[in-house]
Chains A and B, each alone.
Chain A
Amino acid sequence: MFEQIQFNSVTEFFQMGKYTFHVWSVYGLFSIFILVNLFLPRVQRRQFIREQRNKALRDAQLAKNTAGQQERESAKGESS
Protein backbone atom coordinates (compact mmCIF):
# COMPACT_ATOMS: atom_id res chain seq x y z
CA MET A 1 0.00 0.00 0.00
CA PHE A 2 2.92 2.30 0.63
CA GLU A 3 3.82 1.82 -3.02
CA GLN A 4 5.06 5.26 -3.64
CA ILE A 5 4.91 8.81 -2.53
CA GLN A 6 2.46 10.62 -4.75
CA PHE A 7 4.59 13.69 -5.23
CA ASN A 8 7.80 14.15 -7.17
CA SER A 9 9.09 17.12 -5.24
CA VAL A 10 8.50 19.05 -2.06
CA THR A 11 7.06 22.02 -3.95
CA GLU A 12 4.61 19.74 -5.63
CA PHE A 13 3.61 18.40 -2.24
CA PHE A 14 2.95 21.86 -0.90
CA GLN A 15 1.05 22.78 -4.02
CA MET A 16 -1.40 19.85 -3.85
CA GLY A 17 -2.35 20.12 -7.49
CA LYS A 18 -4.83 22.91 -8.00
CA TYR A 19 -6.04 22.73 -4.44
CA THR A 20 -3.34 24.33 -2.30
CA PHE A 21 -5.73 26.38 -0.24
CA HIS A 22 -8.40 23.70 0.13
CA VAL A 23 -6.19 20.92 1.41
CA TRP A 24 -3.93 22.98 3.63
CA SER A 25 -6.69 25.05 5.19
CA VAL A 26 -8.51 21.86 6.19
CA TYR A 27 -5.42 20.33 7.73
CA GLY A 28 -4.51 23.63 9.39
CA LEU A 29 -7.98 23.98 10.87
CA PHE A 30 -7.84 20.39 12.05
CA SER A 31 -4.51 20.80 13.81
CA ILE A 32 -5.62 24.03 15.49
CA PHE A 33 -8.79 22.25 16.60
CA ILE A 34 -6.82 19.38 18.12
CA LEU A 35 -4.27 21.57 19.86
CA VAL A 36 -6.89 23.89 21.33
CA ASN A 37 -9.01 21.03 22.60
CA LEU A 38 -6.06 19.30 24.22
CA PHE A 39 -4.51 22.36 25.83
CA LEU A 40 -7.55 24.33 26.90
CA PRO A 41 -8.57 21.76 29.56
CA ARG A 42 -5.04 21.88 30.96
CA VAL A 43 -5.15 25.66 31.24
CA GLN A 44 -8.54 25.48 32.91
CA ARG A 45 -7.28 22.87 35.34
CA ARG A 46 -4.33 25.02 36.35
CA GLN A 47 -6.61 27.98 36.76
CA PHE A 48 -8.91 25.94 38.97
CA ILE A 49 -6.07 24.77 41.18
CA ARG A 50 -4.67 28.28 41.52
CA GLU A 51 -8.10 29.61 42.45
CA GLN A 52 -8.70 26.91 45.03
CA ARG A 53 -5.28 27.51 46.57
CA ASN A 54 -5.86 31.22 46.84
CA LYS A 55 -9.23 30.55 48.37
CA ALA A 56 -7.70 28.13 50.89
CA LEU A 57 -5.07 30.74 51.78
CA ARG A 58 -7.74 33.40 52.23
CA ASP A 59 -9.83 31.10 54.38
CA ALA A 60 -6.83 30.24 56.55
CA GLN A 61 -5.97 33.92 56.91
CA LEU A 62 -9.55 34.74 57.81
CA ALA A 63 -9.69 31.93 60.36
CA LYS A 64 -6.43 33.13 61.91
CA ASN A 65 -7.64 36.73 62.08
CA THR A 66 -10.92 35.87 63.71
CA ALA A 67 -9.16 33.53 66.10
CA GLY A 68 -6.67 36.29 66.99
CA GLN A 69 -9.47 38.76 67.46
CA GLN A 70 -11.35 36.43 69.74
CA GLU A 71 -8.19 35.83 71.78
CA ARG A 72 -7.56 39.54 72.10
CA GLU A 73 -11.13 40.18 73.05
CA SER A 74 -11.10 37.49 75.67
CA ALA A 75 -7.77 38.84 76.97
CA LYS A 76 -9.28 42.32 77.16
CA GLY A 77 -12.26 40.97 79.04
CA GLU A 78 -9.99 39.26 81.58
CA SER A 79 -7.80 42.34 82.15
CA SER A 80 -10.72 44.64 82.73
Chain B
Amino acid sequence: MWQWFFRLGSPKWFYEMSGKWLPWLLVLMTVLMSVGIFWALLFVPQDYQQGDTIRIMYVHVPVASISLACFPLMAVAGVITLVWKMKLADMVAKCAAPIGAWFTAVALATGAIWGQPIWGTWWAWDARLTSMLIQFFLLIGVIALRSAIESPDAAAKACALLAIVGAINVPIIKYSVEWWNTLHQPASDFSMDENSAFGPEIWVPLVIMIFAVYLFFVISLILSTRNEILQRERRSQWVMDIVANEKV
Protein backbone atom coordinates (compact mmCIF):
# COMPACT_ATOMS: atom_id res chain seq x y z
CA MET B 1 0.00 0.00 0.00
CA TRP B 2 2.74 2.43 0.94
CA GLN B 3 4.65 1.66 -2.20
CA TRP B 4 1.60 2.57 -4.21
CA PHE B 5 1.21 5.76 -2.20
CA PHE B 6 4.73 6.92 -2.86
CA ARG B 7 4.64 5.93 -6.49
CA LEU B 8 1.57 8.13 -6.82
CA GLY B 9 3.70 10.88 -5.37
CA SER B 10 6.11 10.71 -8.26
CA PRO B 11 5.15 13.41 -10.74
CA LYS B 12 6.38 11.41 -13.70
CA TRP B 13 4.27 8.39 -12.80
CA PHE B 14 1.23 10.59 -12.28
CA TYR B 15 1.81 12.32 -15.60
CA GLU B 16 1.99 9.04 -17.49
CA MET B 17 -0.96 7.43 -15.76
CA SER B 18 -3.18 10.49 -16.03
CA GLY B 19 -2.36 10.64 -19.72
CA LYS B 20 -3.83 7.16 -20.07
CA TRP B 21 -6.93 7.94 -17.98
CA LEU B 22 -7.77 11.29 -19.51
CA PRO B 23 -9.47 10.14 -22.76
CA TRP B 24 -11.70 7.72 -20.86
CA LEU B 25 -12.62 10.31 -18.27
CA LEU B 26 -13.40 12.81 -21.02
CA VAL B 27 -15.64 10.34 -22.85
CA LEU B 28 -17.46 9.41 -19.65
CA MET B 29 -17.92 13.05 -18.71
CA THR B 30 -19.26 13.99 -22.13
CA VAL B 31 -21.78 11.15 -22.09
CA LEU B 32 -22.98 11.85 -18.54
CA MET B 33 -23.09 15.59 -19.09
CA SER B 34 -25.10 15.38 -22.30
CA VAL B 35 -27.55 12.88 -20.83
CA GLY B 36 -27.91 15.01 -17.69
CA ILE B 37 -28.38 18.29 -19.50
CA PHE B 38 -30.89 16.90 -21.99
CA TRP B 39 -32.82 15.26 -19.22
CA ALA B 40 -32.80 18.37 -17.09
CA LEU B 41 -33.83 20.70 -19.89
CA LEU B 42 -36.42 18.53 -21.64
CA PHE B 43 -37.85 15.86 -19.39
CA VAL B 44 -37.85 17.13 -15.82
CA PRO B 45 -41.40 18.19 -14.94
CA GLN B 46 -41.98 21.79 -13.97
CA ASP B 47 -42.04 22.52 -10.29
CA TYR B 48 -45.46 23.66 -9.13
CA GLN B 49 -43.85 26.60 -7.29
CA GLN B 50 -40.66 27.36 -9.17
CA GLY B 51 -41.82 26.54 -12.67
CA ASP B 52 -38.96 26.12 -15.10
CA THR B 53 -36.34 27.55 -12.76
CA ILE B 54 -36.13 24.04 -11.30
CA ARG B 55 -33.85 23.34 -14.26
CA ILE B 56 -31.29 25.74 -12.80
CA MET B 57 -30.90 23.34 -9.88
CA TYR B 58 -29.23 20.78 -12.16
CA VAL B 59 -26.33 23.18 -12.71
CA HIS B 60 -26.24 25.00 -9.40
CA VAL B 61 -26.38 22.08 -6.98
CA PRO B 62 -23.58 20.01 -8.56
CA VAL B 63 -21.29 23.03 -8.95
CA ALA B 64 -21.96 24.19 -5.39
CA SER B 65 -21.44 20.75 -3.86
CA ILE B 66 -18.10 20.41 -5.61
CA SER B 67 -16.94 23.85 -4.61
CA LEU B 68 -17.57 22.79 -1.01
CA ALA B 69 -15.31 19.78 -1.54
CA CYS B 70 -12.45 22.02 -2.60
CA PHE B 71 -11.26 23.12 0.84
CA PRO B 72 -11.16 19.62 2.33
CA LEU B 73 -9.24 18.49 -0.75
CA MET B 74 -6.70 21.30 -0.35
CA ALA B 75 -6.38 20.60 3.35
CA VAL B 76 -5.69 16.90 2.76
CA ALA B 77 -3.13 17.81 0.12
CA GLY B 78 -1.70 20.29 2.63
CA VAL B 79 -1.30 17.63 5.30
CA ILE B 80 0.45 15.37 2.80
CA THR B 81 2.71 18.26 1.77
CA LEU B 82 3.65 19.10 5.35
CA VAL B 83 4.04 15.54 6.65
CA TRP B 84 5.46 13.58 3.72
CA LYS B 85 6.81 16.54 1.73
CA MET B 86 5.27 15.08 -1.39
CA LYS B 87 5.69 17.41 -4.35
CA LEU B 88 2.67 16.13 -6.23
CA ALA B 89 0.31 16.98 -3.36
CA ASP B 90 1.46 20.57 -3.47
CA MET B 91 1.02 20.74 -7.24
CA VAL B 92 -2.55 19.46 -6.86
CA ALA B 93 -3.23 21.95 -4.07
CA LYS B 94 -1.82 24.80 -6.14
CA CYS B 95 -4.02 23.93 -9.12
CA ALA B 96 -7.09 23.21 -7.00
CA ALA B 97 -7.23 26.74 -5.55
CA PRO B 98 -8.02 28.67 -8.76
CA ILE B 99 -10.31 25.91 -10.05
CA GLY B 100 -12.14 25.94 -6.72
CA ALA B 101 -12.44 29.71 -6.92
CA TRP B 102 -13.98 29.35 -10.38
CA PHE B 103 -16.44 26.75 -9.14
CA THR B 104 -17.37 28.93 -6.18
CA ALA B 105 -17.89 31.96 -8.42
CA VAL B 106 -20.12 29.97 -10.79
CA ALA B 107 -22.05 28.55 -7.84
CA LEU B 108 -22.57 32.09 -6.51
CA ALA B 109 -23.73 33.40 -9.88
CA THR B 110 -26.11 30.52 -10.57
CA GLY B 111 -27.41 30.66 -7.01
CA ALA B 112 -28.16 34.35 -7.38
CA ILE B 113 -29.94 33.76 -10.69
CA TRP B 114 -31.92 30.88 -9.23
CA GLY B 115 -32.95 32.93 -6.22
CA GLN B 116 -33.98 36.04 -8.14
CA PRO B 117 -37.60 35.03 -8.83
CA ILE B 118 -38.03 34.01 -5.19
CA TRP B 119 -36.25 36.90 -3.48
CA GLY B 120 -37.08 39.56 -6.01
CA THR B 121 -33.45 40.75 -6.11
CA TRP B 122 -30.30 39.43 -7.74
CA TRP B 123 -28.45 39.29 -4.46
CA ALA B 124 -29.81 38.27 -1.08
CA TRP B 125 -27.83 37.71 2.10
CA ASP B 126 -29.07 34.16 2.20
CA ALA B 127 -27.11 31.85 4.49
CA ARG B 128 -25.90 29.57 1.73
CA LEU B 129 -24.87 32.36 -0.62
CA THR B 130 -23.13 34.29 2.17
CA SER B 131 -21.05 31.39 3.39
CA MET B 132 -20.21 30.59 -0.22
CA LEU B 133 -19.05 34.18 -0.68
CA ILE B 134 -16.79 33.97 2.37
CA GLN B 135 -15.37 30.69 1.12
CA PHE B 136 -14.60 32.50 -2.11
CA PHE B 137 -12.68 35.14 -0.12
CA LEU B 138 -10.74 32.40 1.67
CA LEU B 139 -9.76 30.84 -1.65
CA ILE B 140 -8.67 34.23 -2.97
CA GLY B 141 -6.52 34.54 0.16
CA VAL B 142 -4.81 31.22 -0.55
CA ILE B 143 -4.17 32.21 -4.16
CA ALA B 144 -2.83 35.62 -3.10
CA LEU B 145 -0.50 34.05 -0.54
CA ARG B 146 0.82 31.63 -3.14
CA SER B 147 1.62 34.40 -5.56
CA ALA B 148 3.17 36.62 -2.89
CA ILE B 149 5.80 34.15 -1.67
CA GLU B 150 8.66 33.78 -4.08
CA SER B 151 10.33 30.59 -2.91
CA PRO B 152 8.18 27.71 -4.18
CA ASP B 153 9.07 25.53 -1.24
CA ALA B 154 8.04 28.11 1.37
CA ALA B 155 4.93 28.95 -0.66
CA ALA B 156 3.95 25.28 -0.71
CA LYS B 157 4.22 24.93 3.05
CA ALA B 158 2.58 28.28 3.83
CA CYS B 159 -0.36 27.57 1.54
CA ALA B 160 -0.70 24.06 2.97
CA LEU B 161 -0.97 25.53 6.45
CA LEU B 162 -3.43 28.20 5.38
CA ALA B 163 -5.55 25.58 3.62
CA ILE B 164 -5.69 23.51 6.81
CA VAL B 165 -6.62 26.54 8.92
CA GLY B 166 -9.24 27.48 6.33
CA ALA B 167 -10.69 23.98 6.24
CA ILE B 168 -11.10 24.03 10.02
CA ASN B 169 -12.75 27.43 9.71
CA VAL B 170 -15.13 26.69 6.85
CA PRO B 171 -17.62 24.70 8.96
CA ILE B 172 -17.43 27.31 11.75
CA ILE B 173 -18.16 30.07 9.25
CA LYS B 174 -20.96 28.04 7.73
CA TYR B 175 -22.70 27.45 11.05
CA SER B 176 -22.25 30.99 12.30
CA VAL B 177 -23.64 32.40 9.07
CA GLU B 178 -26.61 30.04 9.23
CA TRP B 179 -27.19 31.02 12.84
CA TRP B 180 -26.96 34.70 11.98
CA ASN B 181 -29.30 34.30 9.06
CA THR B 182 -32.02 32.36 10.85
CA LEU B 183 -32.09 34.93 13.62
CA HIS B 184 -32.17 37.86 11.23
CA GLN B 185 -35.09 36.80 9.12
CA PRO B 186 -37.41 33.82 8.82
CA ALA B 187 -35.79 31.04 6.82
CA SER B 188 -36.66 31.38 3.19
CA ASP B 189 -38.90 28.76 1.69
CA PHE B 190 -36.12 28.18 -0.78
CA SER B 191 -34.35 25.18 0.58
CA MET B 192 -33.33 21.78 -0.63
CA ASP B 193 -34.48 19.95 2.49
CA GLU B 194 -38.13 20.39 1.94
CA ASN B 195 -37.80 18.94 -1.52
CA SER B 196 -36.91 15.63 0.11
CA ALA B 197 -40.18 14.25 -1.24
CA PHE B 198 -38.49 14.21 -4.64
CA GLY B 199 -39.55 11.55 -7.02
CA PRO B 200 -36.91 9.71 -9.03
CA GLU B 201 -37.75 11.78 -12.10
CA ILE B 202 -36.24 14.71 -10.18
CA TRP B 203 -33.24 13.23 -8.43
CA VAL B 204 -31.93 10.73 -10.98
CA PRO B 205 -30.88 13.47 -13.42
CA LEU B 206 -29.49 15.42 -10.46
CA VAL B 207 -27.28 12.49 -9.47
CA ILE B 208 -26.14 12.13 -13.09
CA MET B 209 -25.25 15.82 -13.23
CA ILE B 210 -23.37 15.64 -9.93
CA PHE B 211 -21.26 12.77 -11.27
CA ALA B 212 -20.69 14.61 -14.53
CA VAL B 213 -19.60 17.83 -12.85
CA TYR B 214 -17.41 15.85 -10.47
CA LEU B 215 -15.70 14.29 -13.45
CA PHE B 216 -15.32 17.72 -14.97
CA PHE B 217 -13.64 18.96 -11.80
CA VAL B 218 -11.28 15.97 -11.76
CA ILE B 219 -10.45 16.41 -15.44
CA SER B 220 -9.66 20.10 -15.19
CA LEU B 221 -7.65 19.46 -12.05
CA ILE B 222 -5.65 16.75 -13.83
CA LEU B 223 -5.14 18.96 -16.88
CA SER B 224 -3.72 21.88 -14.95
CA THR B 225 -1.72 19.61 -12.64
CA ARG B 226 -0.09 18.08 -15.71
CA ASN B 227 0.90 21.56 -16.88
CA GLU B 228 2.27 22.30 -13.44
CA ILE B 229 4.31 19.08 -13.50
CA LEU B 230 5.79 19.97 -16.88
CA GLN B 231 6.61 23.45 -15.63
CA ARG B 232 8.35 22.27 -12.48
CA GLU B 233 10.14 19.29 -14.01
CA ARG B 234 11.19 21.15 -17.14
CA ARG B 235 14.87 20.43 -16.53
CA SER B 236 14.43 16.66 -16.31
CA GLN B 237 15.07 14.44 -19.29
CA TRP B 238 11.59 12.99 -19.65
CA VAL B 239 10.01 16.44 -19.96
CA MET B 240 12.62 17.46 -22.50
CA ASP B 241 11.74 14.37 -24.51
CA ILE B 242 8.06 15.33 -24.46
CA VAL B 243 8.91 18.86 -25.53
CA ALA B 244 11.08 17.60 -28.38
CA ASN B 245 8.58 15.00 -29.66
CA GLU B 246 5.20 16.67 -29.36
CA LYS B 247 3.69 18.25 -32.42
CA VAL B 248 2.45 21.73 -31.72
Contact = CB atoms under 8 A, between A and B. Distances in A.
Contacts of A53: 243-244, 248
B231 interface: yes
B243 A26 contact: no
B200 interface: yes
A41 B226 contact: yes
Contacts of B224: 41, 44
Given A1-B204, A18-B51, A30-B106, A48 B42 contact: no
A52 interface: yes
B223 interface: yes
Contacts, number: 103
B172 to A, nearest CB: 29
Contacts of B223: 38, 41-42
B234 A52 contact: yes
Interface in B32-66: 33, 37, 39, 41-46, 51-53, 55-56, 59-60, 63
Contacts of A27: 37, 41, 55, 59
A13 B45 CA distance: 13
Contact of A23 (B56, B200, B239, B243): B56
Given A16-B52, A19-B53, A38-B223, A7 B42 contact: yes
A30 to B, nearest CB: 5
Contacts of A45: 226-227, 230
A2 B208 CA distance: 14
Contact of A17 (B52, B114, B216, B231): B52
B248 A46 contact: yes
Contact of A22 (B45, B113, B220, B230): B113
Contacts of B216: 34, 37
B158 interface: no
A62 to B, nearest CB: 17
Contacts of A19: 51-53, 117
9 closest residue pairs by CB, A with B: A41-B223, A17-B52, A16-B52, A37-B220, A52-B243, A17-B51, A30-B59, A26-B56, A1-B201
Interface of B: 33, 37, 39, 41-46, 51-53, 55-56, 59-60, 63, 99, 102, 106, 109-110, 113-114, 116-117, 200-201, 204, 216, 219-220, 223-224, 226-227, 230-231, 234, 239-240, 242-244, 246, 248
6 contacts: A3-B201, A23-B53, A26-B114, A34-B33, A38-B223, A48-B230
